[in-house]
């Protein structure tokens, strides 16, 4: 046995995670190997994700229920609950998730039913603030983890970009409450995560170098100008300098990662991806977006991700056409308006079921992936995921349909359906997620964490 093979067998030989196989003019990234595990135990990273869909779900509750088997919320309560048809695909994961009922953002309850999508991760009443939002929960976490991974966060949506106020096509908002453009093309996202090339690297390096030198000039000139300003103007100018420094730090972080090789993928990972997928094939497209999220976590390219499956825009949006393309008859907005009509209950319930099935497949992938080499814990055990909507039914901003999944390795307990009263704000879920992820124990109008979700 060679010295190298002997060392691999005894696990005394270690490879750096960024090691490349090198040949004449080529470099191949290696996947995660056991011999890459650190000599000293390292805590597994904690991750956070959010998945959103709009317009509500099929609600069939109480004596007036016409088709109770198509009620999104389960039968029973606590650990003694039973999924109806809508969420049956999640049955295999019941010990890794909690269904949450009764929650909403108090400040959002009275705004327009179709205005609430922008607020799902912020809890902010944009109507009372000239359509200006606040920093979203995911970006609070992204700021905490900044610089620890190549990308602070991965922001995805089916429609891409930012949309418009009250009809946003992104879930994520920066520290100033401005929307962060979402990526929506699978090939584009893949290239961003795993693409490499000498020409691209050189071009980006030149751009960053140019940006860095420009910032130096701006800061030097700003100091000169400031000396000649009055007290009030100096205060405003200092705010400007602070914003410039934030950009400078981002440039520095980008330079740090510029020449670190991006992670490689196994052949099996590549075969699962359908990068040619587009929004005209919903099943394949949504599955690919989830797979990209999984790979981003697997390779530790980021620790924060969001995916908006569809937006609150009208029937012409890409995600809004998904139900029609799946053979459910109507665009998403029209489909959801049929939540209590005899001919609309089952089609909407099947849309709920489709979404739950796609989410279940994502949970499968996360559960079957070790969080670190040699670890018995899964990626799902160290990732907390909120899945749901900011309407219960169309135009109703209360009783959000929500599933909290993952995180059993960081203190969450699951296998339950928890019903809350209106005095518990949805932000308490975010406070709990952020606390267990090591970020903070409060968010927006939260009043505390939720002990019933913790073991």
Q: Write out 280-291 in H/E/C secondary structure.
A: CCHHHHHHHHHH
Taking residue 200's Cβ as centre, other Cβ atoms within 10 Å add up to 11
Q: How far is 118 from 123, CA to CA, in rounded Å?
A: 9
pLDDT confidence of residue 1: 35
Q: How far is 352 from 331, CA to CA, in rounded Å?
A: 14
pLDDT confidence of residue 232: 60
pTM above 0.85, yes or no: no
What is the token pair recorded at 171? 């879930």
Q: How far is 450 from 238, CA to CA, in rounded Å?
A: 40
What is the token pair recorded at 319? 């995600």
pLDDT confidence of residue 247: 42
What is the token pair recorded at 112? 């327009």
pLDDT confidence of residue 200: 52
pLDDT confidence of residue 219: 56
Low-confidence stretches of the chain (pLDDT < 50) are 1-15, 17-36, 197-198, 213-215, 217, 240, 243-244, 247-248, 251
Are the CB atoms for 187 and 160 separated by under 8 Å?
A: no
pLDDT confidence of residue 413: 99
pLDDT confidence of residue 312: 93
Q: Which residue has the tokens 């779900």?
A: 57
pLDDT confidence of residue 37: 52
């Amino acid at each position: 046995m060679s010295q190298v093979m002997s060392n691999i067998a005894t696990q005394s030989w270690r490879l750096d995670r960024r090691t490349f196989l090198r040949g004449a003019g080529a470099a191949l990234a290696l996947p995660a190997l056991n011999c890459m595990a650190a000599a000293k135990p390292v805590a597994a990273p904690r991750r956070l994700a959010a998945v959103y869909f709009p317009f509500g779900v099929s609600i069939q509750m109480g004596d007036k229920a016409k088709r109770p088997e198509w009620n999104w919320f389960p039968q029973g309560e606590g650990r003694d609950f039973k999924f109806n048809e809508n969420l049956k695909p999640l049955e295999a994961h019941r010990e890794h998730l909690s269904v949450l009922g009764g929650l909403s953002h108090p400040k959002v309850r009275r705004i327009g039913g179709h205005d609430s999508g922008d607020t799902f991760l912020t809890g902010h009443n944009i109507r009372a603030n000239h359509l200006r939002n606040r920093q979203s929960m995911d970006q609070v976490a992204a700021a905490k983890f900044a610089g620890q991974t190549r990308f602070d966060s991965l922001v995805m949506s089916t429609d891409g970009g930012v949309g418009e106020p009250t009809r946003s096509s992104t879930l994520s908002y920066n520290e100033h409450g401005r929307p962060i453009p979402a990526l929506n093309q699978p090939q584009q996202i893949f290239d961003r995560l795993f693409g490499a090339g000498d020409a691209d690297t050189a071009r980006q390096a030149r751009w960053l170098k140019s940006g860095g030198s420009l910032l130096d000039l701006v800061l030097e000139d700003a100091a000169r100008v400031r000396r000649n300003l009055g007290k009030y103007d100096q205060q405003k100018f200092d705010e400007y300098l602070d914003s410039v420094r934030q950009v400078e730090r981002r440039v520095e972080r980008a330079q740090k990662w510029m020449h670190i090789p991006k992670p490689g993928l196994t052949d099996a990972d590549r075969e699962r991806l359908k990068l040619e997928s587009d929004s005209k094939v919903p099943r394949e497209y949504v599955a690919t977006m989830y797979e990209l999220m999984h790979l981003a976590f697997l390779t530790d390219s980021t620790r924060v991700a969001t995916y908006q499956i569809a937006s609150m825009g009208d029937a012409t949006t890409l995600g809004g056409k998904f139900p029609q393309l799946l053979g459910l008859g109507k665009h998403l907005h029209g489909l959801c308006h049929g939540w209590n009509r005899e001919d609309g209950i089952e089609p909407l319930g099947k849309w709920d079921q489709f979404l739950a099935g796609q989410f279940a497949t994502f949970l499968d992938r996360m559960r079957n992936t070790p969080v670190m080499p040699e670890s018995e814990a899964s990626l799902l055990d160290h990732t907390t995921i909120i899945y749901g909507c900011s309407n219960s039914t169309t135009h109703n901003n209360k009783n959000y349909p929500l599933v909290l999944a993952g995180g059993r390795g960081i203190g969450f307990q699951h296998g339950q359906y928890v019903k809350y009263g209106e005095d518990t704000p949805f932000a308490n879920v975010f406070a709990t997620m952020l606390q267990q992820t090591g970020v903070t124990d409060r968010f927006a109008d939260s009043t505390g964490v939720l002990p019933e979700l913790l073991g």
